[in-house]
Structure 1
Amino acid sequence: TQQSHATLPDGTSQRFPSRDIWAVTGMSRNGLQGLNPVAYMREAFGESIATAAYVQNYWRNNGQPPVTLTTDKKVDPDVRAAIKADWKTYVAGVHNAGEPVVLGQGLKADYMPVNNKDGQLVETRTMQVLDIARAWGVPPHLIFELSKATFSNIEQQSLEFVIYHLGPHFARVADSATHAFAASGCLFSHDPSDLVKGGFLDRAQGVSALRNAGVISTDEARNNFNLNPVGDGTGQQRWQPINMGIAGQPAPAQPPGA
């Protein structure tokens, strides 16, 4: 009997027979073991963490670039250490922005040229958001990266998210559940209709087309908009288009006056 490791809510790990574990494998390279997106994209996530740490340290330092104190005079090591400590205490502290600096011994403060604009800090952080979205297969606008978003492409990307990303997940889960739990002749499936509903006008036109074609009844059409059934039995009737018939058969005779 195959066995699997599982981590319990209390943090302990135990081995269980495979018949007691329902596991749905995600994206895989060998069809047996799923890939961990965090481990697979660890470099991208590490870059994002490093960039965030840099930004935090930059603003904790009052947005000041690194500085070098220089002089033409000879400065003993213990004096250099004391000057460095004084600078960090009175100038580089969190609450010391704008404090005046008095330098002795011919010292000059030279700020190193650090330009976040030339370093494309904003563009770097944007690309890191896209990397994270790519790792999880999520359109950027769903995690509020809207720099390239328009009304038309957001709607299209939302539809593609359901079709190309959620669709394979739905199929894997449904197939696995059917294999593990379904009775003979039964199957599991997902209904993503709520995820692909468009605006009210588009939905109304689609429902109207189905109603006019006799595909659904009035009550079924009303249920699409969370409305109660008509209630007198007429809501269960379906229309039959009179200008259509079964292929290969003559059209039915029309009653007089029709």
Structure 2
Amino acid sequence: MVKIILTAILFSCLHAQAFTLITTNPNQTGWASNEITFLVNTANCPIDVVALMSNAVAVWNNVAHSNIKASYGGATTSTAYANPTTVYCEANFSAATGGADINFVPAAASVHTSGGTIYEGIIYLNVSAGQANIANFDSNVLTITVAHEIGHILGLGHSTDANALMYFDGSYKDKLTLAQDDIDGVSYLYPSDEFKDGHFAGCGSVAHLPPPPPPPKGLLLLTLLMLLPVAVAVRFRTKSYENI
């Protein structure tokens, strides 16, 4: 029974560790505030990006163990990293994003951090001449895509769970929902009040803990002496079975 329980816990933990963070900094957190706002520059946009953003941010706001409050905050003329995060339609998408393929990538996101804390971000929407121009997708696919990019702005990297919104390949998703892995990730970065003293304690999001203190002097020897009679008894019983 113990072995079965431990195995179940092991597989549960391995699943929970599928989410990643957007940087490789081991001290990365999310934004300093749990209230994260997005401003939209609608210039050059061939679709209703405002409605799309409103739907995409909402999916992140209904996580039981997270206090994240993402929202659409209005219009902007910015095309640069900012706080609140800028969302805009970029005709020169590949150059602006550092080489993203205009035929396969409809949107991209990036953040700047300081000391592990995110302080500004940007979401690029592809309106280039490529096949992945956002005008070529239906609203459901685009909403899922933008919700994925919002996850990056919140601080999440790509998940290894194909069911997750943060999975690298958006073609696996046809509904705007969060998988358990997405929930674990956002709860880790933005824990609700009951977890304020440490990150959400899921298997994939355990706060850094100091190493345990060394055992008291002589404890190891005492433990070995206590186990000696058990070892002798097991050996004696084994010999008895061999003589049967």
TM > 0.5 fold call: no
Q: Give the strand-richer structure, 1 or 2.
A: 2
Q: Give the helix-richer structure, 1 or 2.
A: 1
Higher-Rg structure is 1
Q: Relative contact order, CA 8 A, sep 6+: which one is greater? A: 2
Normalising by structure 1, we get a TM-score of 0.23
Normalising by structure 2, we get a TM-score of 0.24
